[in-house]
Amino acid sequence: MNQAPPARRFRLPLTWIGLMPFVIFVTMFLILPTMNIIIGAFQTADGSFTFQNIIDLQNGTIPSSYWISVKISVASAALGCAIGFAMAAAVVFGAVPGWIKSPLLTFSGVASNFAGVPLAFAFLATFGPVGLVTLFLRNNFGIVLQRDLGFSILSFWGLTVTYLFFQIPLMILIIAPALEGLKKEWREAAEVLGATATQYWRMVAFPILFPSLLGTFALLFANAFGAVATAIALTGSSLNIVPIQLYAQIRGDVLGNPHLGYAMAFGMIVVTAVANIIYIWLRIRAERWLK
């Protein structure tokens, strides 16, 4: 009589044990808080289900705060893409000495993650009312930034310039591999066919790099739109953007509504998620071209 084969016991490979701290960390500090925000956005104070919090997003100054956040994100992403692309191209194609490449990429890896209170303090110490650059221009040239140039670190452009500190390095890190993926044979073929450098970039290089550029723009937009600590530490309540309104709602002031704050956070999650999905999709398309 044939005996049934013993059931196989499921065993987790030992190599997966090294991932457990990462899985636990992501679950505790990313997945669970995100789920709590999503659930809280559709609850009342007594825990019952409601859509009122989502409907209230169109009331008061909330729509304008989203609009200002979108404009800051677009401005910082566009400037970050333009400046970062120029710097990466100069390094990859040898317009600057080769020894600059390694320090630049190392600095970009650090600066792209430098944000929050330290970044806000650094820019206040540099461009604030008594900052280093502010006092230097005032004492040596008689130039007052806000009066003569219309620039204030606590304004729209002040926050945009601050965001560029991590937007430009992030652009360099992402676009440099794409620039290195442009094959020399493509340029040589274009030159053999009589194309100028401008025609090569306009008709060959930029069409190939366009998905990477557009995808990186979407990533930089999401990066700026989701920046909370830097905006709060730098501008306080002087600039009406979503993170500051969100902080005021969740903080629990007299007029605060934590669940409306959850709804605002849910809106930010949706916007950043869409931007990241666009980036991932365009990056996949770009990788097909560069293979």
Q: How many helices (H) and strands (E) does the chain have?
A: 14, 0
- Residue 94 inside a domain? The answer is yes
What pLDDT shows up at residue 10? 60
> CA Rg, the chain, in Å?
24
The DSSP letter of residue 49 is: B
Evaluate if residue 168 carries a pLDDT over 90: yes
Please tell me the total count of domains within the chain.
Answer: 1
Q: Quick: pLDDT tens for 5-64.
A: 665 666 666 677 778 888 899 999 889 989 999 999 999 888 899 999 999 888 888 899
Question: What contacts 17, CB < 8 A, 6 or more positions away?
Answer: none
Question: Nearest Cα to 62, choosing from 257, 269, 194, 245?
Answer: 245
CATH (domain of 153): 1.10.3720.10
The DSSP letter of residue 227 is: -
Tell me the residue range of the domain where 253 lies.
61-290
Q: Quick: pLDDT tens for 220-244.
A: 999 999 887 788 888 777 778 888 8
What sign does the dihedral 80-74-227-22 (CA atoms) show? negative
The full length of the chain comes to 291
**CA 237 to CA 154: how far, in whole Å?**
10
- Residue 46 inside a domain? The answer is no
Evaluate if residue 253 carries a pLDDT over 70: no
Contact in structure between 290 and 222 (CB atoms under 8 Å): no
- Residue 33 inside a domain? The answer is no
Structure token pair of residue 112: 């792209």
